[in-house]
Amino acid sequence: MGRWGWRMGGALILLMGLGALWEGLHLLPPRYVARLVPEPLQVWFWPAHPAAVPTPSTPVSPERLAALLTPLTPTVRPSLVSTPSRTPVPSPSPPRPSPSPTSRPLPTPTVTPPVFPGPTQAARNTPAALEEADVLLYGVRHTFQTWNNCGPATLVMALSFYGWRGTQKETASVLKPDPEDKNVSPEEMAAFARSLGLGARVRVNGSIPLLQQLLRNGFPVIIETGFEPDPRQGWMGHYRLLIGFSERRGQFIVMDSYMGPNQGIPYAEVDRYWRHFQRAYIVIYRPEDEERVRALIGPVWDDDGRMWAEALARAQEEIAASPRDAFAWFNAGAAFLRLGRAEEAATAFDQARTLGLPWRILWYRFEPFEAYLAVGRYADVIALADANLRVTPYVEEWYDYKGQALLALGDREGARAMFQRALQFNPNFQAAREHLTALTP
């Protein structure tokens, strides 16, 4: 072989090697792409994704939509539908001693100058003016999240207020054993806190005044919100820890695992993104403070029927004000579902999908799967699960819901494979384990 032939052979081997490297990088989990590939080139390595959640095949009739806007009467109190359990009570290391009373938060004097708007969410790392805070809780240790880890990191920050010195690695090992898992539920986070001997309460349909009251009484609050830090990344879910607020600036003071400590975020912006998750919030507290927290949250502390009825009324009001608000329709669907009205829930979810939902919404909120299963629309469950699994295989709930649909259609072996796959990603996923056990002779 001549010199030219050797050169051609070498070039071919080099091209084949580069091709193999390219294909290998495409198979890497996203966290490795984020570390190994320069940011301008990362877009080439992310899997293609839809612009929005797939729309239903049949449009919803105006008559059916109008029926969903009829307010509940006081006598309509359907049986509630509970959320499936995911994770058993974890057993992390015990908490450190609680901080001394002198380290507990003390509110600064109230100020009443006119409110003026703060920075938008797009403005990264916007420190709050702490000296103007009406309430500021001290003793929280800020933690920047590792890859896709806002839930475990935010939980660590909240627990640090009560003296726990664990790390997000410890919380993540229980909450999301697979680092690529896209979602940690509020109930999972609350269960972790309870395992440390603390109290924790998860509620929805919160309000700005309620958040202020909890903070004013010395309780930091975790909220689950939508998040759009970068147009290239698009919408995603995110947890934040509220530690104070300033009436003068009209903003909360937030410990954000992504944006940094002591972020000032306007009330209106908090509520805009908070409602994407039905205004869900988590309050962690010492057991001796439970009655105080109960009094602050009020009747919905232990009355799920009232909580979801009020959430439905709020969603209906938002729909009346803005009929093309996809998130308002989604929240109405979730409330209908929890009130035991699965047909209405499925219709509301259809309308939300028709109007257009962010393609990542089903990474975090699974109510449409539950509603479609309840009304026997198994093809919709499978189609939505498959649409998400084509983008990422790391969300164990999708396998479980698809498994339930396959089982309802008579495909026991297909269902078994789905439940097993879910448990491969998260061995702590209790619902999938129960479904798999039920299939075992």
Break the chain into its structural domains and give their ranges: 3-42, 101-302
Q: What is the per-residue pLDDT for 331?
A: 98
Most confidently modeled range among 6-20, 84-98, 347-361: 347-361
pLDDT confidence of 12, banded at 50, 70, 90? low
Q: What is the per-residue pLDDT for 204?
A: 98
What six digits make up the tokens of 307? 């909580």
346-349-354-359 Cα dihedral, nearest 10 degrees: -130
Mean pLDDT of the chain: 82
DSSP class of 205 = S
- As a whole number of angstroms, the distance between CA 235 and CA 299 comes to 33
Residues contacting residue 352 through CB under 8 Å, at least 6 positions apart: 326, 327, 329, 330, 333
Q: How many helices (H) and strands (E) does the chain have?
A: 19, 7
Average pLDDT, integer, range 436-441: 86
> What is the CATH architecture assignment of 101-302?
Alpha-Beta Complex (3.90)
Is the pLDDT reported for residue 110 higher than 50? no
Residue holding tokens 């680092």?
179
Q: CB neighbours (10 Å) of residue 276?
A: 24
* Inter-CA distances, 51 with 213, 235, 280, 345, 353, Å: 39, 11, 26, 23, 12
First vs last Cα of the chain: how many Å apart?
Answer: 66
Residue 309's H or E segment, with its range, is helix 304-321
Is the pLDDT reported for residue 216 higher than 60? yes
pLDDT confidence of 180, banded at 50, 70, 90? confident
By DSSP bridging, strand 236-246 and strand 221-227 are antiparallel
- As a whole number of angstroms, the distance between CA 371 and CA 336 comes to 9
Quick check: 168 and 143 in contact, CB under 8 A? Answer: yes
Is the pLDDT reported for residue 142 higher than 70? yes
Beta bridge partners of 223: 240, 281
Please name the amino acid found at residue 358: P
pLDDT confidence of 217, banded at 50, 70, 90? very high
